[in-house]
Amino acid sequence: MLWQMSRVGQPVPFPDGSAAVVPVTTYDLDTNKPTTLLHRVAPDGATSALTTRDASHPSLSPDGTTLAFARASKDEARGKQLHVMPLGGGEARCLTDLPLGVAESKWLPDGSGLIVAAPVLRGFGTLAETEAELEARPERHESAIVTEERVYRFWKRWLADGRVHHLFHVDAASGATTDLTPGLDRLMSSEADPAGSFDISPDGSQIALSLEVPMDGRPFLRFAIHTLPTAGGEQPSQLTAELPAQQRRPRYSPDGKSLLYGIQVEPSYYADRVRLVRYDFDNQQATVLTEDWDESAAGWEFTGSDTVVLSSEHRGHNRLFTADLSGSSPQLIDGQGSAYGAAPAGDQVWCRTESTSRPAEVAIVDGGAVRRVSDFNGAVLGDVELGATEIIHIEGAGGRAIEVKLVFPPGFDKSQKWPLLHNVHGGPHGLVNDTWHWRWNTQAFAAPGYVVASVNFHGSTSWGEGFTDSIRGAWGDKPYTDIMAATDALVATGYIDPDRMVIAGGSYGGYLVTWITTRTDRFKASVCHAGVTDLLGQWASDSTEGREKAIGGLPWEDMDAVQRWSPLAHTADIVTPTLVLHGEKDYRVVITQGLALYGILQHKGVPTRLVYYPDEGHWIETPANSIHWYGEVLDWLERWV
């Protein structure tokens, strides 16, 4: 059923807020491919399709009459190209023919053209050079990738000899294209979503972007805010001479007098909370606004020259907040579940809302609360009975109250005994949010008859900086205590069968699952997906910055500290039947992490099953493989429970 549902993207509102354009993706299980169509959604929920062919990355002209989007070109090798379509009637026309396609686009304020993020080959810094290299490659037969960089891979793609994004000016009438950053060979701060990395000033004269900064030979990635004129002819210049932190997501105030962006003050710690900074162009001063707010800002947008709407993880949910820029703390907007991607326009704020019991739909902020307006999945859900949900709190490590999210199987009766499935989140600095998760869907796990428990253990985000920091250098300590305390508490309810308990997790969740099986045999089976099993082996990861703080030491300085919390250094007592799943293209947790666990347990004689996906990365993303993955996981658990 998961792959029969529509996946609703972020709404892009019309300038007056009267409606929003929303990308909605469906999947064809016969072809194993997605199709994204653009829909118009009104505040009353009325919905109409705007496109009949695949289209993505919508952007509306300032007068609301023209829709820009990316669509596949006839030559698949050239990727998606920028198209524009009049909303008053008329056919879409293609504006670009860039060698590697386009990503995001934003209209200039006068509607005369768009600024487009599009990739070129790294090391071939102009369109002409990229075109020439692409034409020459088929004539060469070498396959080597050569690098001297520390960060040479990213999640599931190679950065060495790969792609970087440039910004282009595209004329809306003629399609004439000008590279505004020729020769630039540095990454934007979010290569997966370049539009989040740049913004255009209200008068259309300037672009602000978050761009990689050279680190004088140090093997780390740092990003800082830069500006450049939309007229071109100049390379981006860094906004401030110093580099205090990672800087991201610039947004101009409506009056153009200031720029709002986010910083992390401890760049080597990815979970460091994001503070909002306001840069004043007149006095060239940057002021940190939310240093005293113990939450991490995300997705900020101006609603006025001195007011913003933003989102943040908040006590196990993702919530929207409003804030003035006087220095007062952001104020929570009421709502159920979680909300993302606040997009203000006119007197409306559009967003996307979802929960553990409801996939994402379009919503607006109405009367100070988030209200769902669309129903793209109503027909598919129909009469499907979903499991009831509950949040409980138990006493975890150090006496701290720990949240446990529960999903019960349909037809749950607390007078009966039920099997327990622990759903262990990754990160470790993440959380099980009140969201509809497509890859680890707790309703799908509960449906066969499990009580699914998701523990937001020590190290989880959204409960303050101290709680998140509390496991640095001791990954297996407090989270283990929290999981076992939750297990005891659930068994004590009387409705959990202590002889039918299983545990599953991915990434750090796979780490914690494996660590737990080195400490106890209480669980009848375990599932380790893309799990970190060998802390020394994680030096093959795409990113190693700050790893010594995370795991407790550097291997060339203190190997004992590295091995102290490494599961593969403590496998003597593992007897739990284990399912190991891993993707070949996983560059964050490399394939050998899974293969080593499987090999050791097989050699020990522990019942073990390996599921290997040669074309997947850290996540299982294609329909056929996802369906297969769910089947393998549920079959394995049923086999032992």
Which pLDDT tens digit goes with each residue over 194-212?
547 899 999 999 999 999 8
271 occurs within a structural domain? no
Reported residue count of the chain is 641
Q: pLDDT at position 268, please?
A: 80
Domain of residue 404, residue span: 384-640
Q: pLDDT at position 123, please?
A: 83
Mean pLDDT, the chain, integer? 93
Alpha-carbon separation of residue 629 from 86, 386, 425, 580, 613 (angstroms): 43, 21, 17, 11, 10
Whether the per-residue pLDDT at 566 is higher than 70: the answer is yes
CATH classification at residue 400: 3.40.50.1820
Q: Note the pLDDT tens digit of each residue in 136-169.
A: 888 888 888 888 878 888 889 888 767 889 999 9
Q: Note the pLDDT tens digit of each residue in 331-341.
A: 999 888 999 99
Whether the per-residue pLDDT at 102 is higher than 70: the answer is yes
pLDDT band for position 109 (50/70/90)? Answer: very high
Q: Is 223:211 a contact under the CB 8 Å cutoff?
A: yes
Number of domains in the chain: 1
435 occurs within a structural domain? yes
Q: Note the pLDDT tens digit of each residue in 393-446.
A: 999 999 999 999 999 999 999 999 999 999 999 999 999 999 999 999 999 999
204 occurs within a structural domain? no
186 occurs within a structural domain? no
Average pLDDT of span 344-373: 94
pLDDT band for position 192 (50/70/90)? Answer: very low
Of 464, 515, 522, 465, which is closest to residue 488 (Cα–Cα)? 522
Weakest mean pLDDT among 240-244, 308-312, 319-323 = 240-244
203 occurs within a structural domain? no
Of 551, 340, 537, 541, which is closest to residue 433 (Cα–Cα)? 340
584 occurs within a structural domain? yes
Q: How far apart are CA 626 and CA 19, in angstroms?
A: 34
Residue 449 burial (C-beta neighbours within 10 Å; 0-12, 13-18, 19+) = middle
445 occurs within a structural domain? yes
Average pLDDT of span 618-625: 96
Query: Which residues are CB-neighbours of 319 under 8 A, at least 6 positions away?
Result: 311, 312, 313, 332, 333, 335, 338, 339
Q: pLDDT at position 191, please?
A: 53
Average pLDDT of span 461-472: 95
Q: pLDDT at position 190, please?
A: 62
pTM of the model: 0.94
273 occurs within a structural domain? no
Q: Note the pLDDT tens digit of each residue in 216-252.
A: 666 677 889 999 999 988 989 999 867 667 899 999 9
